[in-house]
Copies of this chain bind each other. A is one copy, B any other.
């Protein structure tokens, strides 16, 4: 890549980080912990949220910020759960942005009921590249990988797997029907992010989902992370 282009990109990421810190300050002041939930399209982020938010998070009051290129299909799915859901579209008229950035989330702040929630889950645009580069003001980053996507994904999209605090391996109900060796996937994961917390779940059957629910409850209870 040409040096000038690298410089422009670095400046853009610097500017994004500045706004992300401002978002984090606002979330901290409101006592709201924030989780940035990322994955490839169709890995099951929304289905996972339907499961855990349908059960509730005990004393923790959750809210969701839904990032989509267009439409409000996921927000509509979650609206039946009686959880505050705010829609954020990235479509500016042509193809739309392939990720949320700090400024988009900042523009949504006035619409978020921060006084009424303890934990905000930001469902990012389905994409394994750019969302990993743009912090939005979150405390923690979670990525969801589906077993239908193949065991090579950590090696092909290393930054995404490297930046996250938790990897949720979803759709394990499909394991008998796909060529996906869990041990090989986890070995690939440990090559790019050694020892990162991981859990195996099926949003469809509910298997393993309790562990993710408990993880979210702990996320809401933790002290603000250092900026």
Listed in ascending order, the chain A residues whose CB lies under 8 Å from chain B are 1, 5-6, 9, 13, 40-42, 68-71, 73-74, 92-98, 125-130, 132-133, 146, 148-150, 152-153, 155-159, 171, 173-174, 177-179, 204
- Find out whether the CB atom of B156 lies under 8 angstroms from the CB atom of A68: yes
Asked if residues B148 and A171 are in contact (CB atoms below 8 Å), the reply is yes
> CB < 8 Å: which of B9, B73, B98, B157 contacts A155?
B73
B92 near A150 with CB under 8 A, answer no
- Nearest Cβ in chain B — how far from A54, in angstroms? 16
In the assembly, what is the distance between CA of A173 and CA of B174, in Å? 11
Given contacts A68-B156, A73-B156, 17 further A-B contacts (CB under 8 A): A9-B92, A13-B94, A41-B153, A42-B148, A42-B149, A69-B129, A69-B156, A69-B159, A70-B156, A71-B156, A126-B128, A126-B157, A127-B127, A127-B129, A146-B148, A174-B174, A174-B177
